[in-house]
Structures are given as structure tokens and as C-alpha cells.
Structure 1
């Protein structure tokens, strides 16, 4: 991990004992590395928040391993951010323009916040598992005269959405899209509908079906302009356009994001992306 983080930092070229400024290519590589860490950090924050919302039950088979995996990701990201901070700080003590120390310090603070939140999740008591070797007593036979139990209640909008999202998290992209589409057909105007369109877009994006992802993200922007998923949809739509070789539309969307949502977390990433696209 350390070698990867160090490799993307600008080098100081010594000529006759005099340090020269990093080249433009060096600066671009550093920008790309910091932007990549910022994007990974957003995904990690979302994963930790989902772990906090999940019930701490011993009956969930991958609950413990999932927390352990998140802990390893936090430690790895923390190591990379610390190495990046040390290298940027060392460079800024040389006679050259100010760099990205404040951005990397902000990354470090966010990593520590994630570690604290994850520790709180790990400290939650798990639901007690049944004693080993103890078998449940067989149920007593139902009397013939007992009336049939009432029908199970219909699934709520939240239930349907949660099932679709669970499929997405399991990597079952096609099934997740079908489930989200079913949710949208039943609940076309709820607080979760824009989220459903966004996750449809994400499932396509994960499979590199960028054109279809663009259409799904556009549903969020056009039909739910006041929804909280609009900044994320604009950002990922721009990334998708860039992925298919259309930097012009990517720049248009990034500028729209900066203009309409300048203080959002996505706006910070949009600024870095615009710099990479030559703006």
C-alpha cells in the first residue's frame, strides 16, 4: 500500500543541488491520487453507516466478517492518507507553491471519524445465539379446531426497497434492478423513489454499462430536482460520460453540480475532476 501511495506523489528533481518544481504530470498524478482517496472514503463512510443501521444479530452470517473487512479498509486507507500527508508536507517545506496539505489533513480527520464510528458498531452487543447442542423442543400439535392464522401483512414500501438494496449489495445487479423497478412501479412518488433510480444507475455503472447508467441518473435529476440524491446523480452521470469518451458533457454536468450544489461533498470531487479534464 505504501509503495502505491508514494508512487503517485510528485518527485523533486535535483539539478546542480537546486530543487526544481514538480512537473505538470507529477501534479496531475497527485490530484488523481487524492481524488481517488476522496471517492474511496465516501464509499467507506456509506458502508460504515449501513453497518451502523444493521441489527447486531448473531443470526446474520456475514455480520462479523463484514465488520472485520471494514476495519481492514479503514486501517489501509488511514495508512495511505498518513503517507500522503507526510510526503505532501515534506514537499511544501521546499521552495515551491502551496500544495494539498489541507485536503489530505481533512481526509485524515474523516478516516479517524470513520474508525470511531466503526468501533462503536463493533462494541454493540450481539444477540445471544442458542446454546450449542441444545435442540429446540418440537412444537405441540395444533388442535384441529384452531382457526387459521391471519394472513401476513403486505410488504411496505420500505420492505420492498430494502430487499432491492440488499440484492444490489450482494452484487446481484440484474435482480436488484428488477426489484427496484418493481418498487418504482408501485411507489412512483415517495422519498425513496429517487434513491431507487440512483441505485439502478449504480448497478449499471458497476457493470460498465455507462449509457444505461446515464439514463437512470438523469431520472433522478429530472424527476426529483429537489431530492437529496441529485448531487450524487450529477457527479456519477459526469463520470459515466467521461468513461464513454465524452468529456464535453462531463464538464457541463460537473459545472452544473458546482453551480447548483456548491457546498456539497460531491462538489469537492467535481472540482478535482474538472481539473483533471483540463478546466
Structure 2
């Protein structure tokens, strides 16, 4: 019985050992291949890990480059903003400078305009003063000519005046020549008012005397020199009525035309001067009137 049980136990054990040995043999046969495969697999994993490491390095490099690029972009944006601010400041400065320049130009133009206006005003005043001086010169020339004529006439009258006669009866009246000479003396001394009264007395007393026209001329001349041209016209007309072709008639016509011109009546002045040229063409007064008609200026300035 015991022997049967021992056999029964030994049979399966022998089969298991057999299988174990087979497995060992199989493993022994497979072990070199597994080792080879494991080695190959390890080298592949190493290469993969190496590639991953390289990728990680490249990614890190790219990350650093990207960070640097972001920093660069940030710097560029900051620089661009700063440049924009500088450009804005420059633009404002240029606009301010342009405004100041324009204002300066306007100030210069205003100053130039004011200077030109002042210059024109000064030139106008200078011309006015020159015109007054010219008028004064003309008046002086006319007065000198008048005084020369008075001196000549006084000398002539003194030469022809009769010697005083002894009084045998009541004192005689003042001779006309003496009254005329007295009036001339006062006129020459500048006593125009009294001279006019004396000449008027002479004309009233001796209207038919050859010197009556001359006396009336000096009355008109006194008013003319005092620029009372309206009254001068009246007195010169009286002189022409007294002596149409007297010694002073050419001068009367010349002065009458000048008085009309001073009264802004050039047509009447032309008529009078044309009459002077017709009636006394060879006189000095006619020569001056001819120049005045030709050149349109005051014949009193032409000597």
C-alpha cells in the first residue's frame, strides 16, 4: 500500500521536473536573444533620450531667443514711443518757431509800413516847407523888384520936381508930385496902410494926372502883397480904367492875372495875360506872362 502511494507521488514530480528543465532549456536558448534585444532596446532608448535632450536644449535655446526677442520688441516699442514723443516735441518746437517767425515778419511788415508812412509824411512836410520857402523867395524877389521900381520912379520924380517957389500969398496946396513921392516913401518904408491912404488921396485929387494910374497900381500892389487877392483885383481894375495904356499898365495886367490865379480862376488869368501879350508884347511883363502861359507856373517866380 505504501509502495503504491510512493509511486503515485513520484510520477507527477518527475513530469514537473521534466517541464522545468524544458523551460530552462528554452530560456537558455532565448536568453541570448533577449539580452541582445534588451541591448538594442536600451541603445534605442538612449538615442531617444539623447534626441529628447537635444530637443529640450533647442527648445530652451528657442525660449531664450524668444524671450530676448520679446525684450528687443519691448525695447523697440519703448524707443518708438520715445522717438514719437521727441518728434512731437520737435514738431511743437517747429510750430512755435514758425509762429514766432511769422509774428516777427508781421512785426517787420508793420514796422516797415509805419516807417514808410512816416517817411511819406516827412517828405510831405519837407515839400510843404520847400513850397513855402519858394513862395517866400518869390515874395522877396517881388518886393525887391517893387522897391527897385519905387527907387527908380522916386529918382525920376525928384529929377523932374519943380524947385520950391517962395510964398507970396496963402500957402499953396501940396503939389501932386510931392504927394506921390511921400506916398512912395511910406510904401518903401513898409507903411502900407498910410501909403494906400496917400495914394487914394492922390487919385482923388489928381485923377487926370499922368501918375494917377501909377498910384492906383501901388494901391493894388499893397493889397496883393498882403494876399487880399479879391481886393487887389478891384484895385488893379481901377488902375486899368484910369490909364488903359499907362506906364504901369503891363505890370497891372501881369499882377491882375496873378491875382486871378491865386483866386483859383485860371480862365480869367489867361484872358488877362493874353490881353497883355496883345497890348504890350515887348514888355518884360509880357515875357513873364508868356512863360506862365506856356509852362503853367506863376510868372512871379520868373525874373
Q: With the length of structure 2 as denominator, give the TM-score of the two structures.
A: 0.45
Structure of greater Rg: 2
- TM-score w.r.t. the length of structure 1 is 0.48
